[in-house]
Structure 1
């Protein structure tokens, strides 16, 4: 599966700072100082509706991570998946009388268009769950043969007790895990499971549903968590720098994935930091496909909204915060974009070297994008109010906003 084209990232004078970021597992801020190549895995979409503002906010957060690392003169090895076979996708295809593969391909293509328009840097490896199945089957067999998995009526389940570190990503108690498991694709009440929290690794073929050769597992399809584990281990290995996604993935997805990987390899941890973006609401409720309260990036673009304004709207909220999308949020972003473009369109300007460092400092501090925007706002206000004589300043501001915030002025 191919990703989307990369926009050029301008080079800035000097060098950026190492990233300090909030880690869900330790519930504190840690400093990440990767080697020459920083490694990040971000969980991708299930392509039956793409791309709403909640998605965009999540991918914007991890785009900022890439930009901070690139500014430190590191390379970034970024991997993202597409869950292109899953119950919600199959259910939507059945509801709309569509072929599930055509639905997945269409919505993935639209996602690529949205990411390109928003100037999100693409992953080096963009992998669909279906294409990963040949690598998933051996992992499930290894877990089973090691006693970390078991069969139940033809399905194969992972035993959470096989990982002594289980629970260390989300830091939730058993009852909270059980409730979230039921809400987020698990089956804690299925009779015969060793532990209600045990997640499915391989689902035996069901009538009318797609299935693949699972070797000794029989025909079927993979569970949700093992898909990401297989892709991450194949392309990044253990101990990569960031496992990222929305806050609703901390449990069960990232918790289970970490346990799968740790049981497979005997190594800990799967990722150095588990980083989660907040949820975006609309009319007082979390934006979600199940509720249908969605604002789509593609619809905003079709209505004539500049993608740079959409991006500024996302950047105006801290990535870990839960917030609400409103017409006012977008209007403020549109106005900010107009002010910034007017300021950098002047032939001369006030010096901007300090601004570069302010933006760098803000983003290195747990991706504090609102603080970075405020720094640019201050420069813009002075630029409009003062006659500067630095011919290089407007260009430097434009390059800084592009390189570090992904906004083209």
Structure 2
């Protein structure tokens, strides 16, 4: 078993070997909570949720940290007299949590807020000043980019080719590319958005927050740092520089997910194609949303089109239909953690299909892994058609294991909630009544009535399947 990940810094696939084989350590940049999540935020979090699940499967334990940036220029700008910055940040944090939970993203091991690690940020800044890589000026503290020869190594840029850092007032900068570690308090800013420091009252810069929080919760060196491609520069470049300049090993692998586009265009409020997570989750089944967002390779851009969620729904229906067929066979499959009982249990059959494992090991190849899921569904359906219940049960066990690792198992309890259940139950009562009426008509040799009922059911998009255990129904294409 060899897991390979694309390391953005190396710009190559690398064999993944955690520093502690029994505990993978991951830090992922979480949201800046100045406003609610859009669908790109959810796709990014989902990418690392699937990576986390797979690494836990392969290595047994993952310590996963995802931060919340609750103090930032944008948070302060969006605050109002009626809703202070800290209240806005908390309300938006809850919206992100709700969106993540809706699509089955596991909660992080630790989810620190930036405002809870101010002392650790100040300690890191002091180390950088003492090492000659940072300087205080006019109440601010800046990182001296020219003092660190490795600056630019993540994105392979030279300092002279970089744009000026626009993250702070340049009033005391030695070089326009120097970035802020500490921002002195300004007139008009809320008093409770500042903290005392050796350099004057103020607040941390954005970049120093993640360096301090990752060190606090994972130590000076950890396995994986993740985030969106849009964070590589300047955020991740600056994190890497300040942490390594302070003497920390920092991230051993850098993993970045692709972005979401709409109609092949970047999401933009001015273009009217800005997809809020709440709107998408109100319109579509959250399981469908999860499948749709996971279906493209995590490093590629995902374009959202009118067919995106319909295609995901149809794919899930194929899985649901197979699972329902297996549950109805004479020796029904037990939906539990145990393997199904069969007349013969060759040990090598009760493993993940090789194509699925190979795809996931190869830089988290979810599209190929989904192909393996659907091939197993096809094989299981063929076994059912042939009356081979042992092979069907084994296939169903494999499908459940694969979809469980991807977080898309339709039988999982988390996907059984919602308003659809009562509607499905009501439809089931009506269809079964018609099935019973058709059976009575056939028993009485009233073929005209039986055909009329059958045609009415078919016209409603419902497929009947007659078998030894009775007649069962499903939605067409389901």
Q: CA deviation at 1:115?
A: 1.4
Give a deviation string over 1:313-347, Cα, whole Å, max 9, x none: 11211111123111211111111111111112222
- Deviation of residue 175 (structure 1)? 5.5
Contact 1:43 1:81 in 2 (8 A): yes
Q: Which moved more, 1:52-61 or 1:192-201?
A: 192-201
Using the TM superposition, give the Cα deviation of residue 83 of structure 1 relative to its aligned residue in structure 2, in angstroms: 0.7
- Is residue 345 from structure 1 mapped to residue 329 from structure 2 by the alignment? no
1:110 to 95, 98, 111: 95
State the aligned residue count.
383
Residues 176 and 302 of structure 1: CA distance in aligned 2, closer, same or farther (over 3 Å): farther
| Higher RCO (CA-CA < 8 Å; seq separation 6+) | 1
For residues 378 and 392 of structure 1, do their structure 2 counterparts lie closer, same or farther at Cα, with a shift above 3 Å needed? closer
Q: Pairwise CA RMSD of aligned residues? A: 2.4
CA distance 1:135–1:199, change in 2 (3 Å): same
SS of 1:21 mapped into structure 2: strand
Counterpart in the other structure of 1:318: 297
Q: Supply the distance in 2 between the matched residues of 1:52 and 1:321 (Cα, whole angstroms).
A: 18
Answer yes or no: is the 8 Å Cα contact 2:24–2:59 preserved in 1: no
Aligned pairs (5 A) from 1:8-407: 17-34=1-18, 35-94=21-80, 98-174=83-159, 177-178=162-163, 181-182=165-166, 185=167, 190=170, 192-210=172-190, 211-265=193-247, 267-268=248-249, 270-287=250-267, 293-303=273-283, 305-347=284-326, 353=350, 356-387=353-384, 388-390=388-390, 391-402=393-404, 404-407=405-408
- Take 1:353 and 1:309, find their aligned partners in 2: how far apart are those partners? 28
- Structure 2 Cα separation of the partners of residues 78 and 290 of structure 1: 35
Q: Following the alignment from structure 2 to structure 1, what is the Cα–Cα distance between the partners of residues 50 and 321? A: 24
Label 1:144 to 1:44 Cα distance change in 2 as closer, same or farther (>3 A).
same
Cα distance change on mapping 1:186 and 1:218 into 2, 3 Å: closer
Offset of residue 97 of structure 1: 5.8
Larger radius of gyration: 2
Instruction: Report the Cα offset of residue 408 of structure 1.
Output: 2.6
Distance 2:139 2:251 in 1: 32
Alpha-carbon offset, residue 393 of structure 1: 3.0
The alpha carbon displacement at 1:290 in A equals 8.5
Q: CA deviation at 1:259?
A: 1.0
Cα gap change, 1:288 to 1:19, in 2 (>3 Å):
farther
> Which segment drifts farther, 364-373 or 354-363?
354-363
CA positional deviation for 1:386: 4.0
d(CA) in 1 for partners of 2:162 and 2:371? Answer: 39
CA offset digits 1:247-287 (Å, max 9, x no partner): 0111111111011111112x44x211111111111244323
Shift of 1:70: 1.1
How far the C-alpha of 1:234 sits from its partner, in A, is 0.9
SS of residue in 1 equivalent to 2:149? coil
Sort the Cα spacing of 1:242 and 1:119 in 2 relative to 1 into closer, same or farther, 3 A.
Answer: same
Which shows bigger deviation, 293-302 or 338-347?
A: 293-302
Alignment partner, residue 435 of structure 2: none
1:281-300 deviations in whole A, cap 9, x for unaligned?
Answer: 12443235787742222222
Q: Distance in 1 between matches of 2:168 and 2:199?
A: 20
Aligned twin of 1:11: none
Say if 1:193 and 1:360 are closer, same or farther in 2 by CA, change over 3 A. Answer: same
